[in-house]
Amino acid sequence: MIAALGLLLGIIVGLVFAPDVPLSLQNYLPIAVVAALDAVFGGLRAYLDGIFDDKVFVVSFVSNVVVAAAIVYLGDQLGVGSQLSTGVVVVLGIRIFSNVAAIRRHVFHA
């Protein structure tokens, strides 16, 4: 319940203040969002499987975002940022879809 209230509060604050993302960070925002979504869907799957641990979730959330941003930063430094960004999105996308499939099987008992 607290998490849902925090999410709602975050959405409201974001809509009211409409923060601008600095130009230097605009390449990293989509990757950070996809990495965060991977952690969220993984946490939801773990909750439905009865193995959710809040500490593991927080570490997973933060580490996913940091590692994904680091990979994109490394790609930018090497001059292949868009290729590594695509790779990160593909890998995390596969994980998201596999977690969603497991959640769907759990919810619909299929």
pTM score, two decimals?
Answer: 0.81
pLDDT at 110: 63
Q: Average the pLDDT over 57-62 and give the result.
A: 90
Q: pLDDT tens-digit profile of 63-93?
A: 999 999 899 899 889 988 788 888 889 999 9
Q: Is the dihedral of CA 74, 76, 79, 81 positive or negative?
A: positive
Angle between helices 81-108 and 29-49 (to 10 degrees): 20
